[in-house]
Amino acid sequence: MSNLVPLIQNECLKIMKRKRFYVVLLVLLVLVPMFTYAQMKAAERSQEKFNSDWRLELQQRITDNENSLSSDRVPDEWKRYRQIFIQQMQYYLEHDVNPNHPNGVTFTREFLNNAISLFIPLLIMAIASDIVSGERTSGTIKMLLTRPVKRWKVLLSKLVALLMFVSLIVLSTFIIAYLISGLAFGYKGFDIPVFTGFRIVGSEVDMTGVHAVPQWMYLLMQGGLVWFVGICVAMLAFMVSVLVRSTAASIVIMMAALIAGNILTNMASAWSSAKYLFMVNLNLTDYLAGNLPPIEGMSLNFSLAVLAVWAVCAVIVSFSVFTRRDILN
Amino acid sequence: MRTSSWIWRITACASALATIVLVIGFIYAWNDINYPQGEPLAAGSDSGSESPSAPGAVPGNGSGADQEEQAGKDEDTTTAQPLPDHLNVTAIGDSLAKGTGDNTGSGFVRRSIDQLNGDGRSAKLLANLAINGMTTEALLPKLDDKGIRYALQRANVIMLSIGGNDLFQNSGLLSEETDPDALEIDPVKLMALLPEASERLQSILQKLRAINPDARIIYVGLYHPFADLKELQIPGNIVVSTWNHSVMEIVNQDPNMTLVPTFDLFQHKLDAYLSSDHFHPNGAGYQAIADRIVQGLK
């Protein structure tokens, strides 16, 4: 155990020295202003139309959604989604709470909702995908393994370092999104109540469990869920990185899986066994917001279990492969 | 080497802290989703600082004029009140108010607003709450929705179109419109539907008036979309004009309500004014309705 900490330290320094983490921060610093700007434009437009009266805007959205319910061209899954959306928005109206109050905190919340399934995993892959395969591409893996340390310890130190950076990436995403969007929308908004606890039963929303939490609390809970997704994606990417020799291939494999998951979720698929795939279970924050899960029968605990099983399997595979395989170049 | 150890220490501490915070968040989230604690919410939480105004207050522009208007109303309810300078329009009702059939999607609501703005009046659409297929029966409970009440309260002109679906959809005419021979209109049955529907319309108008005591309420009368079918012409005309007449009687009770007739507009111009579904007006038809509305508002 005693020689594990220096190994972890070594791995952390390697990640820092290779500037992977800085790349992640840079990506955030470039992209978040773009999203902020887009959001600002949208806010400006709705202000023109509705004179910044959110109640009118919300009511108009409810009516528009109600109108689309009567159209035959709208698939049934979407109709269910919209019915649920309507009921939730009406709940907000009844209680006089603006669900989209424009401020930095709300932007962060919305941004994280959208980022959890693709953007954050992508950032994590920037570090995870090359953590083992990168050393094999450059040949430094041999130097590492000639030291008098057990192989599993080497791998474990890499995994621990990776998980440390997952936490850092998730936290810095929150901080950067808040700081940058705050410039445009203002930094207030931590106390605004957000409703959570919507339970979906069929196409009805069960309101008995609904309660308001202050937005900072919501962000905290969101952070926890994003973190869990991040850990699982990191472990999977870690496995791929162990199995595949080149970093590029390892990134492509993970990307393909994630994008496939996004497409599958959007199809609101009738293929119900797809719910056992990890990539359709990434939208954990949807359970917090009370959105309709992509496939019937999914719940928070189900998704957590699926993700955990995949992650644990990934770790087992990576360790058993790494400790047995010959490292030849 | 020194910087390395500093980088390590900072990273380790930061990530340990971050992990602790995120794990706490995760536990909270898990708890909250699995065991949501419903609480009776105090209506109107703190963010709704500018809570919707009481029904009596006319919000928005030209407050001086509005007050005079209100004062005038208290003294004398027999005359229609002058319209304020800025018209804030909320539309509610069925597909006609929504503009179904209009290629531009404008409908008479947007067309009349555009025309008012072109004529030098200032008019704005607050919200169009119309829903396709709306009937008097479905509209009545909707008027209790807070968001809808709010949009109606903010308006000083309310455009309402309702009743067409009560008459024509219940009679089954719409579903079989492609085969006119199979149509059998039963004037007796249709007439039997009328009293109920017009009673509901009366409650709708009363409710609208209770929600917004000062707005000009414009009801768009019905036309007869099947007047070009021989067997439907006379019985349909009778039903539609009976409906329009009973609406007129309700509307006449309130000096600030108007019925805009469309029956005569469409009677001999169905070819020119109906869209391809042979039920909703097309752009020209909506424009004709809008012209009438604007004439009454100028």
Question: Which of A50, A55, A108 is the mutation pick for testing B, counting most B CBs within 10 A?
Answer: A55
Determine the pLDDT at residue A81. Answer: 74
Q: Which residues of B touch A168 (CB under 8 A)?
A: 11, 14-15, 18
Contact criterion met (CB below 8 Å) for A249 and A262: no
Confirm whether B155 is domain-assigned: yes
Residue A178 has pLDDT above 90, yes or no: yes
Nearest neighbour of A165 by CB, restricted to B15, B25, B27: B15
Nearest neighbour of B151 by CB, restricted to A59, A171, A226: A59
Query: Could you state, in chain order, the average pLDDT of each consecutive group of 10 residues for chain B (298 residues)?
Result: 80 92 92 77 40 39 41 45 84 91 90 90 89 90 90 92 82 49 61 85 93 92 86 84 91 91 89 88 92 87
Determine the pLDDT at residue A164. Answer: 93
Average pLDDT over residues A219-245: 93
Domain count across chain B = 1
Q: Please enumerate in sequence order all residues whose Cβ is within 8 A of that of A43, keeping only pairs 6 or more positions apart, or say none.
A: A102, A185
Please give the residue range of the domain that contains residue B289: 64-297
The phi and psi torsions of B247 (rounded to 5 degrees) equal -65, -45
Confirm whether A157 is domain-assigned: yes
Average pLDDT over residues A58-68: 88
- Tell me the residues of chain B between 95 and 114 that have a Cβ less than 8 Å away from chain A: 98
Q: Please enumerate in sequence order all residues whose Cβ is within 8 A of that of A96, keeping only pairs 6 or more positions apart, or say none.
A: B43, B44, B45, B47, B48, B51, B52, B146
User: In whole angstroms, how far apart are CA B118 and each of A143, B93, B112, B294?
Assistant: 80, 25, 10, 11
- Tell me the residues of chain B between 143 and 162 that have a Cβ less than 8 Å away from chain A: 145-148, 150-151, 154
- Inter-axis angle of helices A151-185 and A104-115, nearest 10: 140
Determine the pLDDT at residue B170. Answer: 58
> CA B165, B168, B169: angle at the middle one, nearest 5?
65
How close does chain B come to A37, measured CA to CA in Å? Answer: 25
Question: Per-residue confidence at A234, pLDDT binned at 50, 70, 90?
Answer: very high
Q: Which residues of B touch A12 (CB under 8 A)?
A: 7-8, 11-12
Tell me the C-alpha distance between B66 and B57, whole Å.
9
Pairing of strands B157-161, B86-93: parallel
Residue with structure tokens 């998951």? A261
Tell me the C-alpha distance between A299 and A125, whole Å.
26
Confirm whether A61 is domain-assigned: no
Determine the pLDDT at residue B75. Answer: 40
B50 touching chain A per CB within 8 A: no
Confirm whether A153 is domain-assigned: yes
**What is the value of pTM for the model shown?**
0.74
Residue A284: strand, helix, or coil:
coil
Q: Do B151 and A197 touch (CB under 8 A)?
A: no
A with B: how many residue pairs have Cβ under 8 Å apart? 175
Contact criterion met (CB below 8 Å) for A133 and A245: yes
How close does chain A come to B20, measured CA to CA in Å? Answer: 9
Determine the pLDDT at residue B66. Answer: 41
Residue A31 has pLDDT above 80, yes or no: yes
Q: Do A168 and B51 touch (CB under 8 A)?
A: no
Runs of H (alpha helix) within chain A? 4-17, 20-50, 54-69, 76-94, 104-115, 119-128, 133-138, 140-145, 151-185, 215-243, 247-266, 285-289, 300-324
Highest mean pLDDT among A34-48, A165-179, A262-276, B4-18: A165-179
Q: Do B33 and A287 touch (CB under 8 A)?
A: yes
The residue type at A238: F
Q: Write out pLDDT tens, residues A181-192.
A: 988 888 887 888
B25 touching chain A per CB within 8 A: yes
Confirm whether A155 is domain-assigned: yes
Paired tokens of A66: 């109600």
Q: Please enumerate in sequence order all residues whose Cβ is within 8 A of that of B1, keeping only pairs 6 or more positions apart, or say none.
A: none
Confirm whether B104 is domain-assigned: yes
Confirm whether A198 is domain-assigned: yes
Paired tokens of B113: 């607003």
Please give the residue range of the domain that contains residue A36: 4-52+101-323
Confirm whether A121 is domain-assigned: yes
Q: Do A59 and B32 touch (CB under 8 A)?
A: no
Determine the pLDDT at residue A296. Answer: 78
| Rg of chain B in Å (alpha carbons) | 27
B32 touching chain A per CB within 8 A: yes
Confirm whether A70 is domain-assigned: no
Q: Which residues of B touch A287 (CB under 8 A)?
A: 33
- Domain CATH for B171: 3.40.50.1110
Domain count across chain A = 1
Question: Per-residue confidence at A327, pLDDT binned at 50, 70, 90?
Answer: low
